[in-house]
Amino acid sequence: MRELKLIFVGFGTVAQGCARHLVNNGSFLKERRGFDYKVVAITDTVKGSVQNEQGVDLSKALSLMAKGKKLEDNELPGKKGLSSLETIKSSGGDAIIEATWTNLKDAQPGLSHITIALESGLDVATSNKGPIALFYRKLVDLAKSKGRQLRWESTVMSGTPVFNMYEFGLTGARINWVKGILNGTTNYILTEMAAGKSYDETLKRAQQLGYAEVEPSGDVEGYDPAAKITILANALMDADVRFADVTREGIIHISVDEIKKAERSSQRIKLIASAVKDQKGNVTASVEPTLVPDTDILAHVTGVMNALQISTDVQPDITIMGPGAGGDSAGYGLLNDILSISRMRGK
């Protein structure tokens, strides 16, 4: 059994979710999936960094984080103080798990992490929407030219399989369009508003529950689903859609009255992200509040759940539905990417 040497780059909620699965399911993964791993480094701009080619104790790292301590704590033996780029280059890893924050302006620092990793001959699994939404073609081409794998399952719909499902289960036909509910926060708000609560009240509650940020524009103005539909268009439809070109309208102008009015004609208002190929093969993408009839399964996707419909010309549409956020779920997406990386390397 080949052991995959992993480097965590960014060690926040999502990376720790992945780390927990690796620790908790370690023997299952070894015995039933033929997968073994060693963490050779962890680096995080806030929590510090540790590098140890004998293996970093992942359980101990998690328990240090739970106590609010740093990765450079004495309990975790290894070399300390390296920058993230030094860590990626000098740790002898096979793959990085890139889980730093999403930056939709210039994709940094994720973009540099992924670029350096691929250039150094490492495979990459990332949950970071920034680099994939803004530099898809460049990064995919770089990975190809280096003969390396780049995977981004958890950038869209978290741990619900979208890209691995597509790559291994749906590539036999062209995709004509995709559409879906790709942002859990706004779907939660719209669901609560349908139950009669006001926008302001619901947003506040979403912030208390941790579904929405204190500065909520990424969700309620539709930037987050715009990044996701950009990734879907480019990855599933071979398109060249730019994030900045996505038509985008959020939910901040939707009133409870409008939602109630829609309901009286058997419709729901949902924030729908879609990418559609025209006759000439051009793909355009948009995010906008949309009247969805009750006969469409998307009308019944409530709360923080996400859903995506995929249409080809060879069979009726399929729909995948599942969690769209959360550290455990996104961490599971990263883990499944790592397993795909391992399988495709090992073959």
Catalytic residues: 228
300 sits near its own copies (criterion: CB under 8 A): yes
Q: Is 144 in the site for its own copies (CB under 8 A)?
A: no
Among 29, 118, 231, 273, binds its own copies (CB under 8 A): 29
- Closer of 9 and 305 to its own copies (Cβ): 305
DSSP string, 49-90: EEE-TT---HHHHHHHHHTT--TTSTTS-SEE---HHHHHHH
Q: How many CB atoms lie within 10 A of CB 75?
A: 12
Q: Is 25 in the site for its own copies (CB under 8 A)?
A: yes
Q: On the CB side of 208, how many CA atoms lie within 13 Å of its CA?
A: 7
- Considering beta carbons, is residue 214 or 314 the nearer one to its own copies? 314
From the list 22-30, 72-80, 116-124, 253-261, the region that binds its own copies by CB under 8 A is 22-30
Say whether residue 326 binds its own copies (CB under 8 A): yes
**Residue 21 vs 47, nearer CB to its own copies:** 21
Query: Least CB distance from residue 309 to its own copies, whole Å?
Result: 9
Write out the binding residues for its own copies, residues 229-268 only, by CB under 8 A. Answer: 238
- Based on the shown chain and the rule CB under 8 A, indicate whether residue 335 belongs to the binding site for its own copies: yes
Contact status: 322 vs its own copies (CB under 8 A):
yes
DSSP structure class, residue 101: -
DSSP conformation letters of 209-233: TTSS-SSTHHHHTSHHHHHHHHHHH
Which residues have CB under 8 Å from 12's CB, separation 6+?
A: 44, 99, 100, 101
Query: For residue 200, what are its two tokens?
Result: 């302001």
Q: C-alpha angle 15/19/25, rounded to 5°?
A: 145
Q: How far apart are CA 315 and CA 331, in angstroms?
A: 32
When the beta carbons of 74 and 295 are compared against its own copies, the nearer one is: 295
What would the two tokens of residue 314 be? 């060879």
Among 23, 170, 194, 252, binds its own copies (CB under 8 A): 170
**Which residues of this chain interact with its own copies, rule CB under 8 A?**
21, 25, 28-29, 32-33, 153, 158-161, 164-165, 167-174, 238, 297, 300-301, 305, 312, 314-323, 326, 328-329, 331-332, 335-336, 338-340, 343-344, 347
